[in-house]
């Protein structure tokens, strides 16, 4: 029996872990110990995902949230080290690029416990992003690097990572998008709740520190979305960090429809029926593509370069791009629609979770 200790703590990790957890439970010879660090703790940033996606209740909840990056990561490290010594798992499994990812990988590596990193090899080449530092360090520490795309695998090769550590398995978020699409269509009433019509509104999400912590960039995004909201409804589920930043700066948009963060099924419904998505999220850029909806990325660069190269996504650097104009153009050109696409499946076949569990049960 291989015991996998999974460390998760932030919203995108719940979504990524849902499919892999299901696959672990389905696979003979694998067992999971689930640890929630506590990084995201609000009901609508955490509990809703466990309920809706059927993620088992965490075996441990470390209750670590808030504070600076150093304090948060440090407290997680301390708690995780204790826990790993007690549980002595065969693997530690970490996801993405948050402080929970780095703390899990570092605590395990120091105790000589093999680490597997899901969504390895992503690079923005912008070291001012905390996520970029977390990714680079986690990839250095991990024994198996589960990459989603050719680009991610090539990034690792360029950094000298040996081929034996790289396992290109596709993207777990694609598994989730396929698995929950029908359920979202059946169960979500979010469009009615907010009086939105299919194909007629902009869905926006903003949460990256580079946007929320820079008043000029945040101001440029708000001005752009306000202008877009004169043309068609703009709905913005507000991340707690963005809500706090807007309050700090006194931004009170009049036309953008600000709503609370939504659960995954409502998010899928909002994404798949939008005319266009404007986002600085990594996951939402890909989900726009999965659901065949054009996307404008409110950043200077993206890790998901293939979407831009293939023309399904456009970058709109806040402060220099005319966001409202770009949104209008992208809707008119209909850049992301499924029917316009070639058939290459750049994120795998939707079976990434089973590739991950097969690899973990074979190794060691
Ligand atoms: N998401 C959600 N509700 C929201 C906003 C986002 O369920 O109100 C989901 C979204 O569908 C995606 C994930 O959260 O699966 C993305 O997380 P986030 O944007 O916080 O992080 P990133 O992907 O940038 O790491």
Domains identified in the chain and CATH numbers: 2-171+348-362 (3.40.50.2000), 178-338 (3.40.50.2000)
Pairing label, strands 234-237, 257-259: parallel
State the Cα–Cα distance between residues 92 and 34, nearest whole angstrom: 10
Res 170 pLDDT > 80: yes
- Please give the pLDDT value at position 363: 64
Q: What percent of the chain has pLDDT over 70?
A: 99
On the question of pLDDT at 341 being above 90, the answer is no
Q: What pLDDT score was predicted for residue 361?
A: 93
How far, in Å, is the centroid of ligand 1 from the Cα of 332? 26
Ordered alpha helix ranges (H), the chain: 11-26, 48-53, 69-87, 99-110, 130-141, 150-158, 172-187, 190-193, 209-212, 215-229, 240-249, 264-272, 282-290, 305-309, 323-333, 352-362
Whether pLDDT at 24 is above 90: yes
Q: What is the structure's pLDDT at 75?
A: 98
- Judged against a pLDDT cut of 80, whether residue 337 lies above it is answered with no
pLDDT at 146: 98
Q: What's the confidence (pLDDT) of residue 21? A: 98
Across 160-182, average pLDDT: 97
- Is any atom of ligand 1 closer than 6 Å to the C-beta of 327? no
Would the pLDDT of 340 be above 80? no
What integer best gives the mean pLDDT of the chain? 96
What confidence category does residue 13 fall into, taking pLDDT thresholds of 50, 70 and 90? very high
Q: Which of 208, 258, 284 to mutate to test the pocket of ligand 1 (most atoms within 8 A of CB)?
A: 284
Pocket test residue of 175, 205, 298 for ligand 1, highest count of atoms within 8 A of CB: 205
What span, in angstroms and rounded, lies between the C-alpha atoms of 281 and 49?
17
Cα–Cα distance for residue pair 93/17, rounded to 1 Å: 10
Average pLDDT over residues 78-105: 98
Indicate yes or no: pTM above 0.95: yes
Q: Is 287 in the pocket of ligand 1 (CB under 6 A)?
A: yes
pLDDT band at residue 343 under the 50/70/90 scheme: low
Q: Cα separation of 275 and 196, whole Å?
A: 11
Q: How confident is the model at residue 334 (pLDDT cuts 50, 70, 90)?
A: confident
Residue 328 has pLDDT above 80, yes or no: yes
Confidence band (pLDDT; 50, 70, 90) for 335?
A: confident
- Rounded mean pLDDT, 299-308: 96
The alpha carbon of 51 and the centre of ligand 1 are apart by a number of angstroms equal to 16
Query: Is the per-residue pLDDT at 338 higher than 80?
Result: no
pLDDT digits (tens, 9 = 90+) for 131-165: 999 999 999 999 999 999 999 999 999 999 999 99
Q: Tell me the average pLDDT across 331-348.
A: 80
Report the alpha-carbon distance of residue 302 to residue 316 in Å, rounded: 11
Residue 69 is a catalytic residue: no
Q: Per-residue pLDDT tens for 118-131?
A: 999 999 999 999 99
Our CA dihedral for 352, 281, 196, 173, rounded to 10 degrees, sits at 0
Q: State the closest ligand 1 atom to the C-alpha of 260, by its place in the atom list counted from 1.
A: 8
pLDDT tens digits for range 236-257: 999 999 999 999 999 999 999 9
């Amino acid at each position: 029996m291989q015991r996998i200790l999974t460390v998760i703590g932030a919203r995108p990790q719940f979504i990524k872990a849902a499919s892999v957890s299901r696959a672990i439970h389905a696979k003979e010879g694998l067992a999971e110990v689930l640890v929630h660090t506590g990084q995201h703790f609000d009901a609508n940033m955490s509990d809703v995902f466990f309920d809706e996606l059927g993620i088992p209740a965490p075996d441990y909840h470390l209750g670590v949230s808030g504070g600076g990056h150093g304090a948060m990561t440090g407290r997680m490290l301390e708690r995780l080290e204790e826990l790993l010594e007690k549980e002595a798992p065969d693997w530690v499994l970490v996801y993405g690029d948050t402080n929970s990812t780095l703390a899990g990988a570092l605590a395990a590596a120091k105790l000589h416990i093999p680490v597997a990193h899901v969504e390895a090899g992503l690079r923005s080449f912008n070291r001012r992003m905390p996520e970029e530092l977390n990714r680079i360090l986690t990839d250095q520490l991990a024994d198996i690097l589960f990459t989603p795309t050719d680009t991610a695998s090539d990034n690792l090769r360029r950094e000298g990572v040996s081929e034996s550590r790289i396992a290109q398995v596709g993207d777990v978020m694609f598994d989730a998008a396929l698995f929950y699409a029908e359920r979202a269509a059946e169960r979500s009433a979010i469009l009615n709740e907010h009086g939105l019509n299919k194909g007629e509104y902009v869905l926006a999400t903003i949460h990256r520190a580079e946007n929320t912590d820079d008043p000029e960039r945040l101001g440029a995004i708000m001005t752009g979305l306000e202008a877009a909201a004169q043309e068609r409804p703009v709905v913005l589920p507000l991340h707690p960090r963005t809500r706090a930043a807007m309050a700090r700066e006194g931004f009170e948009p009049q036309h953008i429809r600000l709503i609370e963060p939504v659960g995954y099924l409502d998010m899928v419904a909002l994404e798949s029926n939008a005319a266009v998505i404007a986002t600085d999220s990594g996951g939402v850029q890909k989900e726009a593509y999965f659901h065949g909806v054009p996307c404008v990325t409110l950043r200077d660069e993206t890790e998901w370069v293939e979407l831009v190269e293939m023309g399904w996504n456009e970058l709109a650097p806040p402060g220099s791009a005319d966001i409202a104009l770009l949104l209008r153009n992208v809707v008119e050109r209909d850049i992301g629609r499924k029917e316009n696409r070639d058939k290459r499946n750049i994120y795998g076949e939707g079976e990434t979770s089973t590739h991950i569990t097969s690899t973990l049960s074979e190794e060691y």
